[in-house]
Chains A and B, each alone.
Chain A
Amino acid sequence: MSDLVILDDINFSLEEGKSLAITGPSGSGKSTLLGLLAGLDTATSGDIYLDGVNLNNLNEEERALLRKDKIGFVFQSFELLPSLTALENVMLPSELKSEDDPQDRGEYFLERVGLIDRKNHYPNQLSGGEQQRVAIARAFACSAKILFADEPTGNLDPKNGKLISDLLFEVNSESDNALVIVTHDQELAELCDKKIELKLGKIVD
């Protein structure tokens, strides 16, 4: 049986402060690419440089440290910890970095996404849109160099989707973060500085 090639001949770069949209139909390899870019997985061949570091030269532990220092995530299914309140979820990256003021930072970013009054609520007490706002607050609380968002509006209705995409770009514009978004949503993709479209694991546009 021949090996299954998921991604092939992918080449691109993204500068600090810029945004990139990765689009394509289901099964085209978008999320796999995102996983590789974020150091969640390793490529069988090729090199990925993030802030000058070749991810393929790092082991899982080194990649984890790199993620802690330089990467933020927003997921389609939010991926909040159900046993933590909204504030505690946002505090988590600061806690992992052993920063002095996780609570202050958490409250700042919750304020920024307009959920400070819901800080003590648990994820199951929040709507989908609100949960994604908490996830955005958590991503920005990472003080990351690059933010990866996997279908951030995929689980939301159009109104909430618009709200989230606006918020994502708004908060991102206040930093020098690079932003990589995987999306089906053409409108959201259009908001990005660059766009690549994948089909059967290859860049077609």
Chain B
Amino acid sequence: MLASLSIKLFIREIRSGYLTSMLLSLILAVTIVSGISLFTDRLEKVLSSETKEFLGGDLKFESNEQNIKKSLEKLDLKDSQSSEMAIFASVIFSDQEMQLSSVKAVDNSYPLIGELELQNSSGTFKTRKNPTPGTLWIDERLKNLLSLEYGDKVYLGDATFIFSATIIYEPDRGSTNFAFAPKTIINLEDLDKTNIIQPGSRVEYNYLFTGSNAEISLIRETLEKNKNQGDDIESLDEDSSSLGRTIERSENFFLLGGLIAVLLSACTIGISSQRFARRHVSYVAILKTLGMNILQIRGLYLLLFFYTTLLTLILGLSLGWILQSNFISLMDSYFPSELPAPSPYPLYITCLTVIICQFGFIYPHISKLLDISPMRVLKNDISFNQNITPVFFMGLLAFLLLLYLYTGSIDLSLIIFSGVILFSALGIGLVYIILGSSKLGLGAKDAFNLALSELRRRKLSNSFQIFAFTVAIGLSLITFSASQNLLGSWQDSIPEDSPNNFAININEEDKKGMKDFLSKEDIETNLFYPVANAQIIRANDQENIIDRNFNISWILSLPEQNEIVEGEWFQNDKLNGISISDDISERYNLKLNDNVIIQMEDGSIETYIQSIRAVNWESFSPNFFVIGHPALFEGKSSTHITSFFIPKAKQKVAADLMREFRTVSVFSVEELIKQVREIVDQVTKALNSILLLTCLSALFLAFAALQDGFDQRRHQAAILRTLGATSKFVKTSSLIEFSILGLLSGILGSVIAHTAVYFIESLVFETIPGFYIEIWIMGPIIGMCIVSGLCLYLVNGLMKQSPKDLLNLQT
């Protein structure tokens, strides 16, 4: 009986349209949550495998020495694999040409992950092996520079090799710091024959590991214990590539968008449930009069909401799947052809969201509804228990749970939660003060007075409406500015004409010639930065040598996208020292004002650390770990580095330049820029979809809040019209009233958005917070236009009905 009654009730509710706003909000919330979580889940899986491949393993250890091998030998490893490689820069010769190359000597376990794609005279092929001893592989650029054919002899140090294949793709692209030079891969067994590695040679040993989480942790622990200063350990979660960071930030944005959309939907669901319960007061009273007990009525409504949940999940999850498919198809050129299947997590988070929304925002209203007295059938004025504390408490608890579900941090959830509560209390208090106390009468002598009087008279309900509008406007503005900020920071890092080629090893005497050469081709060069190789030694602890060489430059102006985090940049009126990057400071425990000796080939300089810089390594411009004041380095020998933009039509210029200036190496970042640009374009489309959906949720919320307010005004409008107020009078008054409400909400929404954007930029996106005038302009305008627009729509509908119908006069 209960089941059939509940189905009838459910169908009736759907048909009547009264459940529409609640259903739409729930479906929208499920769509957004499932769409975003499915997308980010699959994206993370792809990224994790790509990062693993980029890194070359689960864990990478970088050192200038081979000492670590001994400590690892003691470990009893069962299911782990490791690979050793030595990486160094050396000049490589063909019979006709010579060229600086980045050489990678790899052992027989190489590659640990993925495959190499090579090309020889028979075509391209994939392999999971290293070069056989006596042969080498080089990349396309080096092949052209050395004018090589397959089978030609190549000379590296004292050894002779046969050029057997061209490298098209290598999995561990992130394995080397010498990546700027054309690449050569040889077998590790051949390394000794070359006699290149001598005591004091600059060589980097990389050890890559794959295996179970437990063994990788064990290896990591051992490495941490035994590592020397300057050694570096990298694992999957430390991907700092431009693409990794771009995707990670966009993931943060997707999750933020999802959270905001869910919170907006939750508010809408709360308001819609309140309306639903109000409409069902008589129904419950009649059921009670007819003898149904509380348990049966509770069961009836629980069944009703079970059907709602089921419908919501079916429709929402289907739409969510379509949403994530669209996101993925937007970015399919970046993804591998077969994307991994999603984990159960998206389904779990979606179901949990729906359950929290049901129990936090719907069930408390139903529970109140069940308390209604059967006397209501006799006395129309009997309504709900006016105590809203349980409803409020459950709503707040659900809000906190949702925050925790999406942020995963109890601290962050509590901060946001307290912020929202504090802001709401302040906002409602402010609205009370602004609206002032009401005067005698309705003030119905003109539309403006009536509007003001209504604002004052309905202070409490207006405050809640302002709260709902503020949440809608504020959260939409947050999503908007977060997306703009994200896009802005990406676009700033890759401007249209960003240099796509870097030239290094430029001698002082070649500088002018290079400039002339490039200007003949109409290519503009940027600053030529002096670069020298140097070691930093602590002045007060000369034994504690920092066992790593750095590229040092000396310039007067702070490079773009560098920010001083400690100390001061060079000034003319004081003794100037050096500026180091914050990661070097952290890695080698170098502090502000530490005295250091810069050991260079042609002498040493005693100086101090004057500043520490945050460097945006993602920017496509030369960046340095150490920068000194030019006065300190006067007369020191150096080469130079510069960057320039070569248009597509003139790609040949790079090879011509290297032929003309034999010592200069030119390397292109065109492909990387193109890849990042493509990703940014594709992510932008996905971001805009999220923004659109969030705005849609906000619109639902604003509409639900207005609709709720209009239920109360419907009766008043009918009486005013019966007593002779014209439709125009009622419309104008409502329009003025809601424009003021919208304006106030817009201003408050701007305050919320600006405060939140400040924290999001500094904490979530880790960028420098900015001031956004557009938030202050858009908030009030959007508030006024949207709220008054929706009001006009509702009030027009109201005016189409005759006062007789609104007052429900009987025939």
Q: Which residues does A use to contact B, with CB under 8 Å?
A: 6, 26-32, 34-35, 38, 40-41, 60-61, 64-69, 71, 73, 75-77, 79, 81, 83-84, 87-88, 91-93, 95-98, 102-103, 124, 142, 150
Nearest 4 pairs of A and B residues by beta carbon:
A68-B724, A40-B804, A35-B804, A95-B444
Determine the chain B residues whose CB is within 8 A of the CB of A27 once the complex forms.
811
Determine the chain B residues whose CB is within 8 A of the CB of A98 once the complex forms.
445-446
Indicate which residue in A6, A71, A83 contacts B724 across the interface (CB closer than 8 Å).
A71
Indicate which residue in B458, B723, B804 contacts A93 across the interface (CB closer than 8 Å).
B723
Instruction: Tell me if B726 is interfacial: C-beta within 8 Å of chain A.
Output: yes
Contact A92 B723 (CB under 8 A): yes
In the bound complex, how far is the Cα of B718 from the Cα of A28, in angstroms?
Answer: 24
Determine the chain B residues whose CB is within 8 A of the CB of A76 once the complex forms.
810
Given A79-B715, A79-B807, A81-B715, 10 additional A-B pairs, CB 8 A: A26-B811, A31-B809, A31-B810, A60-B727, A71-B724, A73-B722, A75-B809, A96-B720, A96-B725, A98-B445
Indicate which residue in B443, B720, B809 contacts A35 across the interface (CB closer than 8 Å).
B809
In the bound complex, how far is the Cα of B725 from the Cα of A41, in angstroms?
Answer: 15
Instruction: Tell me if B716 is interfacial: C-beta within 8 Å of chain A.
Output: yes
Q: Output the least CB separation between B437 and chain A (Å).
A: 14
In the bound complex, how far is the Cα of B724 from the Cα of A142, in angstroms?
Answer: 10
Instruction: Tell me if B577 is interfacial: C-beta within 8 Å of chain A.
Output: no
Contact B724 A84 (CB under 8 A): no
Q: Output the least CB separation between B713 and chain A (Å).
A: 10
Dominant secondary structure at the B interface: loop
Instruction: Tell me if B17 is interfacial: C-beta within 8 Å of chain A.
Output: no
Considering the complex, give the chain A residue whose CB is closest to the CB of B461.
A83
Considering the complex, give the chain B residue whose CB is closest to the CB of A36.
B804
Instruction: Write out, one digit per residue, whether chain B residues 694-729 have a CB within 8 A of any chain A CB (1) or not (0).
Output: 000000000000000000000110111111111110
Determine the chain B residues whose CB is within 8 A of the CB of A34 once the complex forms.
809
Q: Output the least CB separation between A12 and chain B (Å).
A: 19
Instruction: Write out, one digit per residue, whether chain B residues 347-386 have a CB within 8 A of any chain A CB (1) or not (0).
Output: 0000000000000000000000000000000001100000
Instruction: Tell me if B131 is interfacial: C-beta within 8 Å of chain A.
Output: no
Contact B724 A75 (CB under 8 A): no
In the bound complex, how far is the Cα of B719 from the Cα of A124, in angstroms?
Answer: 17
Determine the chain A residues whose CB is within 8 A of the CB of B724 once the complex forms.
64-69, 71, 93, 96-97, 142
Contact A95 B443 (CB under 8 A): yes
26 residue pairs of the A-B complex, CB under 8 angstroms, read A29-B811, A31-B811, A32-B811, A35-B809, A64-B721, A64-B724, A64-B726, A66-B724, A67-B722, A67-B723, A67-B724, A68-B725, A75-B807, A75-B809, A79-B719, A81-B716, A83-B457, A87-B440, A88-B441, A91-B442, A92-B441, A92-B723, A95-B441, A95-B442, A97-B724, A142-B723
Contact B720 A83 (CB under 8 A): no
Indicate which residue in A41, A84, A150 contacts B802 across the interface (CB closer than 8 Å).
A41
Determine the chain B residues whose CB is within 8 A of the CB of A29 once the complex forms.
811
Determine the chain B residues whose CB is within 8 A of the CB of A87 once the complex forms.
440
Determine the chain A residues whose CB is within 8 A of the CB of B803 once the complex forms.
40
In the bound complex, how far is the Cα of B380 from the Cα of A150, in angstroms?
Answer: 18
Contact B444 A92 (CB under 8 A): yes
Determine the chain A residues whose CB is within 8 A of the CB of B809 once the complex forms.
31-32, 34-35, 40, 75, 150
Indicate which residue in A35, A61, A95, A103 contacts B726 across the interface (CB closer than 8 Å).
A61
Determine the chain B residues whose CB is within 8 A of the CB of A88 once the complex forms.
440-442
In the bound complex, how far is the Cα of B807 from the Cα of A80, in angstroms?
Answer: 11
Contact A6 B811 (CB under 8 A): yes
Residues of B in contact with A, size category:
20 to 34
Considering the complex, give the chain B residue whose CB is closest to the CB of A28.
B811
Contact B445 A64 (CB under 8 A): no
In the bound complex, how far is the Cα of B808 from the Cα of A150, in angstroms?
Answer: 12
Determine the chain A residues whose CB is within 8 A of the CB of B458 once the complex forms.
83
Indicate which residue in B716, B727, B811 contacts A64 across the interface (CB closer than 8 Å).
B727
Determine the chain B residues whose CB is within 8 A of the CB of A81 once the complex forms.
442, 715-716, 719
Determine the chain B residues whose CB is within 8 A of the CB of A38 once the complex forms.
722
Indicate which residue in B381, B446, B723, B811 contacts A73 across the interface (CB closer than 8 Å).
B723
Determine the chain B residues whose CB is within 8 A of the CB of A142 once the complex forms.
723-724
Considering the complex, give the chain B residue whose CB is closest to the CB of A66.
B724
CB-contacts of B603-648 with A (<8 A) = none
Q: Output the least CB separation between B105 and chain A (Å).
A: 86
Considering the complex, give the chain A residue whose CB is closest to the CB of B445.
A98
In the bound complex, how far is the Cα of B727 from the Cα of A16, in angstroms?
Answer: 29
Contact B726 A40 (CB under 8 A): no
Determine the chain B residues whose CB is within 8 A of the CB of A41 once the complex forms.
802, 804
Contact A103 B722 (CB under 8 A): no
In the bound complex, how far is the Cα of B811 from the Cα of A28, in angstroms?
Answer: 7
CB-contacts of B769-811 with A (<8 A) = 802-804, 807, 809-811
Contact A96 B444 (CB under 8 A): yes
Determine the chain B residues whose CB is within 8 A of the CB of A71 once the complex forms.
724
Determine the chain A residues whose CB is within 8 A of the CB of B723 once the complex forms.
67-68, 73, 92-93, 96, 142
Interface-centre pick from A38, A67, A69 (highest chain B CB count, 10 A)? A67
In the bound complex, how far is the Cα of B20 from the Cα of A25, in angstroms?
Answer: 38
Q: Output the least CB separation between A71 and chain B (Å).
A: 7
Instruction: Given A26-B810, A64-B725, A79-B719, decide whether A102 and B441 contact each other with a Cβ distance below 8 A.
Output: yes
In the bound complex, how far is the Cα of B723 from the Cα of A153, in angstroms?
Answer: 20
Determine the chain A residues whose CB is within 8 A of the CB of B446 once the complex forms.
98
Considering the complex, give the chain B residue whose CB is closest to the CB of A62.
B726
Considering the complex, give the chain B residue whose CB is closest to the CB of A91.
B441
Determine the chain B residues whose CB is within 8 A of the CB of A32 once the complex forms.
809, 811
Considering the complex, give the chain A residue whose CB is closest to the CB of B808.
A77
Q: Output the least CB separation between B498 and chain A (Å).
A: 63
Interface-centre pick from B440, B723, B728 (highest chain A CB count, 10 A)? B723
Instruction: Write out, one digit per residue, whether chain B residues 445-468 have a CB within 8 A of any chain A CB (1) or not (0).
Output: 110000000000110000000000
Determine the chain A residues whose CB is within 8 A of the CB of B807 once the complex forms.
75, 79
Considering the complex, give the chain B residue whose CB is closest to the CB of A96.
B444
Indicate which residue in B442, B721, B728 contacts A84 across the interface (CB closer than 8 Å).
B442
Instruction: Write out, one digit per residue, whether chain B residues 725-766 have a CB within 8 A of any chain A CB (1) or not (0).
Output: 111100000000000000000000000000000000000000
Determine the chain A residues whose CB is within 8 A of the CB of B440 once the complex forms.
87-88, 91, 103
In the bound complex, how far is the Cα of B619 from the Cα of A27, in angstroms?
Answer: 80
Contact A124 B381 (CB under 8 A): yes
Considering the complex, give the chain A residue whose CB is closest to the CB of B725.
A96
Contact B811 A96 (CB under 8 A): no
In the bound complex, how far is the Cα of B720 from the Cα of A84, in angstroms?
Answer: 13
Contact A65 B441 (CB under 8 A): no
